[in-house]
Amino acid sequence: MPKVTMTSHLYRFFPALEGLEIRVSAGSVADALAELNQLAPNFSDYILDDTGALRRHVNLCINNELIVDRKKLSDQLGDEDTLYIFQALTGG
What is the binding site for another protein (CB under 8 A)? 9-10, 13, 42, 45-47, 49-51, 53, 55-58, 87-88, 90-92
Residue type at position 27: G
Contact 20, 53 (CB under 8 A): no
26 or 58: whose CB is closer to another protein?
58
CB of 70 to another protein, least distance (A): 13
How many other C-beta atoms lie within 10 A of the C-beta of residue 38?
9
Cβ of residue 1: shortest distance to another protein, in angstroms? 26
Q: Give min distance, CB of 8 to another protein, in A.
A: 13
Return the ∠ at Cα 2 (arms to 54 and 59), rounded to 5°. Answer: 25
Q: Are 67 and 29 in contact (CB under 8 A)?
A: yes
Q: Which is nearer to another protein, 4 or 81 (CB)?
A: 4
